[in-house]
Amino acid sequence: MRTFAAAILATVSSAKVFTEMDFKFMNYVNKFGKSYKDVEEFNLRAALFAKWDAEIAVHQMNETTSTHDHNFLSDWTAAEKTSLLGLKNMVIEENPAPEFDNGLHAVGIPTSINWCTSSACNPIQNQGQCGSCWAFAAVATMESAHKIQHGSLYKLSEQNEVSCSSSYGNNGCNGGLAQYAWNYAKTNKLESESNYPYSSGTGITGTCKYNSSLGIGGVTSWANCGTSSSAIETCIATAPNAIAVEADTSYFQSYSSGIMTNAAACGTNLDHAIVAVGYNLTSNYFIVRNSWGTSWGLSGYANLSIIAYPGMCGMNKQVQNVTTTA
């Protein structure tokens, strides 16, 4: 059976001369397993891809420390990309900037650490077209904290938070905050993912189906980390921290590898929650994990340059850690 891309190619090949961009898009469709309902949508996605390709080319031309390439987002509309940004509708109480931040690294901590290569993280997940990044950031931070604090690596349910924590301030696929998710988990231990699997990837929040008797992962407290780079390094040295970044830029969304160092291109308007899982003081970057699957970034991870407040992509503005129940 022919692929959709091959069928489209056969349909329209007699009507036009194919350009290099046409073939580039066809390769993209095949590589990422894209499927479109009709020729009209195919043409729309092709136009979006071409526009994105031009933006990637600019980044590739200007950047010396990071590489940028196509990923699953390359044929998405602006509205579809915005659906991923679960902080966009939330009032974020940013930590106040410190009076003085000289950018020096913290003293008395390891030169480098990566909790996700130290068996303290679960695999990268994909939130789908739901603004549930806040739930994935909150849960991933809880999971790692429990492993470090109590020795067991649970796989907790993001869906439990997405569907059930609205009375604590969260709005399911329409956004939320990690601290609201943790407040929920203070009195409602989360179920495991196997008991309450994720189902909101299509953008539907879903009704709550929580069974308290199956709860295994709870929170005792959470706290804001400082906003200086040295304070954040100190926090991450103890466990991964939930952070907020601006992620609506082509610079962030097309990131493929290397270290993001272009603060102007990344911005500081917080709209997305991720997790800081480590750092490298020798090469001067934080290691973060996203919830957009493994086709984004470095198999789901990224390196953000360590700079003074407000931080790369605004990450120093809101950094939070959590203490979990045994």
Active site residue 266: no
CB 15 within 8 A of CB 56: no
**Catalytic residue among 188, 290, 316, 321, which?**
290
Active site residue 290: yes
CB 172 within 8 A of CB 163: yes
Active site residue 133: yes
**Catalytic residue among 116, 130, 133, 313, which?**
133
Q: Return all residues near 78 (Cβ < 8 A) that are at least 6 apart.
A: none
CB 227 within 8 A of CB 98: yes
Instruction: Give the amino acid at 46.
Output: A
**Catalytic residue among 164, 170, 272, 316, which?**
272
Helices (H), 69-200: 78-82, 133-150, 158-164, 178-187
Cα distance between residue 320 and residue 178, in whole Å: 9
Q: CB burial class (10 A; 0-12, 13-18, 19+) of residue 90?
A: buried
Instruction: Give the amino acid at 245.
Output: V
The residues annotated as belonging to the active site are: 133, 272, 290
